[in-house]
Amino acid sequence: MKNFKLKRVWAEASLLKGTVIKITAKDKLHHLNTVLKIRFGESIRLFNESDGEWLGLIQEKNNKAIVIKIKEQLRQPKSGNNIAIAFAPIKHDRLRFLIEKCTEIGATKFIPVITERTVTRNINLTKLHTYAVGAAEQSERLSIPDIKDSILLKSFLEQYNADHILFCNERSDSKFINEALQKFPRNCRLIILIGPEGGFSVQERDSLASHNNIHPVSLGENILRAETAAIFALTCAISITKK
């Protein structure tokens, strides 16, 4: 049974009863020693998407290495939804908020998409991964979202296949997102596409409209900022596609 008082850490290594994990990477040592302040002899929870969640015991701890012995399984791995967030990159603090909150809610993939009006074009994928890991650790989910390299909108439309892509359109004449979602099968492969601050260009809108699996949807009467739009659309998608 899970003990929510135990500290929780994502593990890249395979988790199996009786195995010993030795951590030597500086960033992970810093996180365990300085941020989580783990102690020798302490029990912690380790998890990943492939192996589920396990109880581990700290057997060795110093500034150069931490050794953890895997004791018992607490949760089996399980399949989740298949909902990706494709977004035009935004400024750092707001982008971190988007990654963290959408990870907590349940996004399985993030795809930075460069559009004509995208202002922020250089993003640090390593930092985004770190934000996603931290959000997964505190939200009790077992998986870490996949964070893809930036891609031009044209290439995104050519390369990414999904059962449905929801193009979040600030124009009010589009169907409300919940109405569109009601018609999709449960647990379908879904991508939510969030545009840049200035919206998509006319040419980009025409390109989006030419794809049969892309559906323009409204998020309501108000114009939402990118991070708000992503959180709202993802919440709607998970609440409806899980029914």
pTM listed for this prediction? 0.91
What is the full DSSP assignment across 115-163? -TT-------HHHHHHHHHHHHHHHT-S---EEPPPEEHHHHHHH---S
φ, ψ of residue 2 to 5 degrees: the values are -65, 140
Model confidence band, residue 2 (pLDDT cutoffs 50, 70, 90): low
Question: For residues 215 and 192, what is the distance between their CA atoms, to the nearest angstrom?
Answer: 10
Task: Provide the pLDDT for residue 235.
Answer: 95
Question: For residues 62 and 58, what is the distance between their CA atoms, to the nearest angstrom?
Answer: 11
Average pLDDT of span 69-86: 92
Model confidence band, residue 108 (pLDDT cutoffs 50, 70, 90): very high
Share of the chain above pLDDT 90, in %: 71
**Contact at 8 Å (CB) between 170 and 223?**
yes
What is the full DSSP assignment across 77-130? ------EEEEE----HHHHHHHHHHHHHHT--EEEEEE-TT-------HHHHHH
Task: Provide the pLDDT for residue 243.
Answer: 54
- In this model, does residue 1 exceed pLDDT 80? no
Q: Tell me how far CA of residue 64 lies from CA of 28, 40, 92, in angstroms.
A: 11, 14, 32
Average pLDDT of span 153-168: 92
pLDDT tens, 222-235? 889 999 999 999 99
Q: Is 131 exposed, middle or buried (0-12, 13-18, 19+ CB in 10 A)?
A: buried
Question: For residues 43 and 35, what is the distance between their CA atoms, to the nearest angstrom?
Answer: 16
Task: Provide the pLDDT for residue 185.
Answer: 81
- In this model, does residue 153 exceed pLDDT 60? yes
Average pLDDT of span 54-79: 94
- In this model, does residue 143 exceed pLDDT 90? yes
Task: Provide the pLDDT for residue 122.
Answer: 87
φ, ψ of residue 44 to 5 degrees: the values are -135, 165
Q: Is 63 exposed, middle or buried (0-12, 13-18, 19+ CB in 10 A)?
A: exposed
pLDDT tens, 196-221? 988 899 999 999 988 888 999 999 88
Residue 19 tokens read as 């195995």
Question: For residues 162 and 159, what is the distance between their CA atoms, to the nearest angstrom?
Answer: 10
Between 100 and 2, the higher pLDDT residue: 100
Average pLDDT of span 29-47: 93
